[in-house]
Structure 1
Amino acid sequence: MKKGIKGLRAAAMAAVLLCAGHAGAAAPYSEGTTVVRERGAAEQNIHERTTGKTNIRERVAGIIGETTPPQNRVFAPGRSRMMRRWDVMTEDTGGTLLFSDSPEYVKESGILYRDTVEGDARVLYYHLNDTAQPKKVAVILETEANLAIVSVTRGGTSTPSTDYLRVGKATQIAYFDPAQHVERIYVAKERPRLLSPAMNTTVLAPGELVYGVYDFHANAPVRVSVVMYGADVDPFSFLRTARVLPRDEVALRGTFQNMDRVVTLPRAYDPMRDGAAYFPIGDNIHDIYRSGVDATDGTPVVNYGNYGILYHIALPITGRGQVRCFLSPLGGVYAGAVTAVSDGQSRLIETPASRAYFGDQTLPEPPQIAQARTEGLLVLTQYTELADLGTYSTVHPVTFTYSPPGASNLPVNIILLPE
């Protein structure tokens, strides 16, 4: 996962590619950017064994030249059909997001990101041990108040691994786990604390990735530091002398106000009247990337992909009939999870549920299809990769909770099909 940006568009092999590491100078993102994370080592090994192609351009060229349908897909039901883009309304709300993903490939111990927050907050960290020694990554809380109470309301991480897609999906499953309880951390003026004690027992071998997301509330200002340090080092002693590491070429770190995005429909969806519809998430055209500030030096930053933003997607339904919902990846490989709340019941849905990941077999768009998509039309074919989000009705509408998963690619479409 070397960071850098290369040109590659899905329709004509020229979209913008965001990889992770130091492959070259970063180019600016624009509207309609495809945010792409380079595949993890495990996925790359599988891909090399099955296709022999390691270069992205070779892979796309190979897909274009295929004459037989790809195998092990999630197929769209029925024949090809035209879908219309459904306009949605968005509102940004909630507390403060602290996003730590730069440097992503960490070559030395140090402070990866730091800022002070009060009230509702979320911290997301996503870092790989790019040294030759075992390391740990921790979130350390400090305060100048006599006592700060930090209530962790939701959180999740996974075992470090070189299989980055597995790390991304497992972390989302843990974060969206409904069986979580509030944990309180008491931070005193002279007594810093870890956001989770397990952080100081989790070791990253060289080449392994760690990814975590935690929501919390602080009743007084707390300084939050994301640090990487030696596996045999005390984190609090280390923090006293540690320095802030510089950003890498793709500056994915910063503080962003309003950590949630509420997505609503301007009117209720009628399956029989409105037909097949979709709306994109994370395309920077209809769903704009968030702007913030790198608190370590005051630099304005953009959250390319809205990683760490929690989407609340309410789908009111009217009329007769039911609607079946899907998530479809557009930018490349994807592995995550969402929650669906309907009829008072909440359930976790893996995306996809039948495979570890998907999006790797999406066919490039012909130019005429790409042009139609810019005009709000999209063709759903039997080869469109889909993750089933469930079937819902007027009596039991649904609200999805979604967040772009680490190690996965954007944008995605949320698709509504009459049943």
Structure 2
Amino acid sequence: MLKTSISTTGKKTLLFSCALVTGYLAHAQQMTAALNNVIKNTPQGHTMQVPGLLSEQIPALPYQKIVLPGPQFLISDDPEYIRVPEGVALREPVQPGSVRLYLYNVNGVQEPEKMDRKIAAVIKNTGNQPMHIRMLKYSSQQPTTNYFFAGKQGLADFFQSQPETVAREVKPGASICLDPKQDKAVVKYDELVHGFYEFVIDQPGEVSIVQTDLKTPATVAASRVKNALATKQYAGAGRGTYGISNYRIIVKDTLDTKNGLTQVLVADGEKDPWVIGKEATTGELKSLDGNYGILYNIELSWKSSDGKALALMTWNPRGDNGQWCGGMANTMVVSSGKFKEGVIQLPSNQLVTTKAPEAILIQVFTPPAGGGVQKVHFTYSPPGASCLPTPLVLVPVDLK
């Protein structure tokens, strides 16, 4: 499931509490030669054991958060488990322009018995002219019970996808499947259908996420189901249309490696609150718990007064919090350093990371020649199926 964290009361609302740090604080852990060698010798994306290094008390870097222009953003994750044989989990109007849809739904049918289903995204042309629809970015995995794989691979495919060059046409009043493969895929009980789509349309439309039997076209089922299912409080991250899809995060101060460990902390629900949207069926405002599907474009300036490099790593601070948080898997885009720039799955050597002292090495930024300030970039999105937050820790390391 899409998860934030789990509190002692069972709600998925336990948030990582971290005060906004306006200066650098000393961290209790001192880098040892052994830890330095572990980080220096770990391949990009791999897990590593760094006992004593990771803590929720690592100073957080203050940053400026800017809302970037972006697409209309829809998410379908409430209800996450579709318990009826045929039903609509999301129904939202969309306007001409770009649209991002995050589909995260599970076949949860148990009555009258467990049964194979299909789950598909359908778009209807509600305008009076032909609609032209073209994918800008696209990610779709086969139905699976491996939710961590879907979340990690889904982001990797999304980041690496290329725009379609040919648009599809939809007549006024007609509907098509956004992803034709979903109309043919068999979804067994407890399997997740995971899709991440960004597309452009030139007519108003209506997006529905529908579950139905294997013989019925998804477009037919979407047209005969008149109302969306009721939402289930605390059962999913959210449902509806959200006005924020992209953030730009600019770390305010220039980081200096001489000051020790720091971290960039986003999607924690406090310092970086959950975005609010509106659900069309009821008209209610809905929080997107976890900010799943939102892209964070992070910029950081740094220098090395002591000649050290800067390692970027991540870990799962919620590894001890119940059955849902025992693993974390993600994918990011990172600028060049010791390793080449590009998309990196986290971890790349196994499915998930578990808990401290295990961490994942994302990149090692090397000091600029001749000193001076260097700017680095990385793109982050809260990983589906993982608990939050997933801190981005910056560790000075000696590469000599």
TM-score normalised per structure 2:
0.78
Report if the CA contact (8 A) 1:121-1:259 is conserved. no
Equivalence for 2:288: 303
Name the aligned partner's letter for residue 348 of structure 1: V
SS at match of 1:334: coil
Equivalence for 1:151: 134
Report if the CA contact (8 A) 2:315-2:353 is conserved. no
Name the aligned partner's letter for residue 136 of structure 2: T
Equivalence for 1:97: 73
Which runs of structure 2 are paired with 1:117-128 in the superposition (5 Å)? 117-118=94-95, 119-128=97-106
Equivalence for 2:89: 112
Equivalence for 2:336: 342
Report if the CA contact (8 A) 2:5-2:388 is conserved. no
More strand by percentage: 1
SS at match of 2:203: strand
Following the alignment from structure 1 to structure 2, what is the Cα–Cα distance between the partners of residues 221 and 317?
Answer: 45
Cα offsets for 1:106-160 (capped at 9, x unmatched)? 1111111111223222101111111222111111112213122222111212121
SS at match of 2:148: helix
Question: What is the Cα deviation at residue 179 of structure 1?
Answer: 5.4
**Which deviates further from its counterpart, 117-126 or 387-396?**
387-396
1:337–1:183 Cα change, 3 Å: farther
Report if the CA contact (8 A) 1:3-1:249 is conserved. no
Within the candidate set 50, 55, 72, 1:76 is matched to 50
Report if the CA contact (8 A) 1:316-1:394 is conserved. no
Question: What is the Cα deviation at residue 182 of structure 1?
Answer: 5.0
Structure 1 spans left out of the alignment, 5+ residues: 9-13, 19-28, 35-71, 363-382
Structure 2 spans left out of the alignment, 5+ residues: 19-45, 319-324, 369-373
Equivalence for 1:293: 278
Within the candidate set 228, 239, 251, 1:244 is matched to 228
Equivalence for 1:188: 171
Question: What is the Cα deviation at residue 84 of structure 1?
Answer: 2.0
Instruction: Tell me how many residue pairs correspond in the alignment.
Output: 343
Following the alignment from structure 2 to structure 1, what is the Cα–Cα distance between the partners of residues 165 and 299?
Answer: 25
1:124–1:160 Cα change, 3 Å: same
Report if the CA contact (8 A) 1:4-1:249 is conserved. no
Following the alignment from structure 2 to structure 1, what is the Cα–Cα distance between the partners of residues 262 and 17?
Answer: 22
Report if the CA contact (8 A) 1:317-1:393 is conserved. no
Name the aligned partner's letter for residue 399 of structure 1: H
Report if the CA contact (8 A) 1:111-1:225 is conserved. yes
Equivalence for 1:231: 214
Equivalence for 1:7: 7
1:141–1:33 Cα change, 3 Å: farther
Name the aligned partner's letter for residue 381 of structure 2: S
Equivalence for 1:389: 362
Report if the CA contact (8 A) 1:211-1:406 is conserved. no
Question: What is the Cα deviation at residue 96 of structure 1?
Answer: 1.6
Name the aligned partner's letter for residue 386 of structure 1: A
Following the alignment from structure 2 to structure 1, what is the Cα–Cα distance between the partners of residues 390 and 202?
Answer: 36
Within the candidate set 172, 181, 195, 1:212 is matched to 195
Following the alignment from structure 2 to structure 1, what is the Cα–Cα distance between the partners of residues 164 and 17?
Answer: 38
1:178–1:276 Cα change, 3 Å: farther
Counterpart check, 1:317 vs 2:302: yes
Following the alignment from structure 1 to structure 2, what is the Cα–Cα distance between the partners of residues 413 and 222?
Answer: 38
Question: What is the Cα deviation at residue 191 of structure 1?
Answer: 2.9
SS at match of 2:149: helix
Following the alignment from structure 1 to structure 2, what is the Cα–Cα distance between the partners of residues 178 and 237?
Answer: 29
Equivalence for 2:382: 404
1:239–1:178 Cα change, 3 Å: closer
Question: What is the Cα deviation at residue 241 of structure 1?
Answer: 1.0
Following the alignment from structure 2 to structure 1, what is the Cα–Cα distance between the partners of residues 387 and 5?
Answer: 13
Following the alignment from structure 1 to structure 2, what is the Cα–Cα distance between the partners of residues 138 and 390?
Answer: 37
Within the candidate set 142, 150, 153, 2:124 is matched to 142
Equivalence for 1:258: 244
Equivalence for 1:351: 346
SS at match of 1:173: helix
Following the alignment from structure 1 to structure 2, what is the Cα–Cα distance between the partners of residues 330 and 315?
Answer: 23
Report if the CA contact (8 A) 2:3-2:384 is conserved. no
Counterpart check, 1:270 vs 2:256: yes
Equivalence for 1:200: 183
**Which deviates further from its counterpart, 130-139 or 387-396?**
387-396
Cα offsets for 1:352-394 (capped at 9, x unmatched)? 22221113x34xxxxxxxxxxxxxxxxxxxx2x3111111146
Name the aligned partner's letter for residue 227 of structure 1: V
